Amino acid sequence: MNRTLSLLVLAAVAGPLAAQDSTRAAAAAAAPATGALSVAVGVVARSVVDRAPQDTGATFPADVGGLVCFTQVEGASADAPGTIHHVWFHGDAQVADVELTARGSPWRTWSRKTVPADWTGPWHVEIRDAGGAVLKRIDFTVGQ
């Protein structure tokens, strides 16, 4: 009788716990707030092939010709798309501001910047949200 009662108590306690779907709770906890974008991946690369950055780095030769800022963002959806900006800087001078829209999560997007051979030295790209807040900064050097 004690064994049967123990099994019934155990089944009553374990039953509801086993039926819980913890994957949704974990996914909801890990996801950014609705409308808030976050950067999962942000790199500078020579190119993008099959929606993946190629030849990423922090130093590129003066004759690189052009570079790509590749970003994977989270927190957007088809119903609530998000906007980010890739703001390119050569030294302290802003040289480009490219607006990009994310329509899902995760969403991969990128911008390209022509790099003249005489524009050597420090560069960076700021990945900003629609309000101008910097979500990520990527520093790199050309020609040194």
pLDDT of residue 2: 55
Long-range contact set of residues 14-22: C-beta below 8 Å, sequence gap at least 24? none
Going by CATH, does the domain composed of 34-142 fall within 2.60.40.1930?
Answer: yes
Check residues 122 and 34 and name the one with the higher pLDDT. 122
* pLDDT of 4 higher than 80: no
Q: Enter the DSSP assignment of 50.
A: T
CB 32 within 8 A of CB 38: yes
Q: What is the pLDDT of residues 113-134, one digit of tens each?
A: 999 999 999 999 999 999 999 9
Half-sphere exposure of 75 (CA within 13 A, CB side): 17
| pLDDT at residue 59 in the model | 97
What is the distance between the terminal CA atoms of the chain, rounded to a whole angstrom? 82
What is the predicted pLDDT for the residue at 13?
A: 44
Predicted confidence (pLDDT) per residue in 85-101, tens digit: 999 999 999 999 999 99
What H or E segment, with its residue span, contains residue 16?
A: helix 2-19
Answer positive or negative: Cα dihedral of 102, 106, 107, 112. Answer: positive
The span from the CA of 46 to the CA of 66, in Å, is 7
Closest Cα to residue 113, out of 135, 138, 131? 138
Which pTM does this prediction carry? 0.75
Q: Whose CA is closest to 47, among 76, 21, 68?
A: 68
Task: Report the alpha-carbon distance of residue 125 to residue 111 in Å, rounded.
Answer: 10
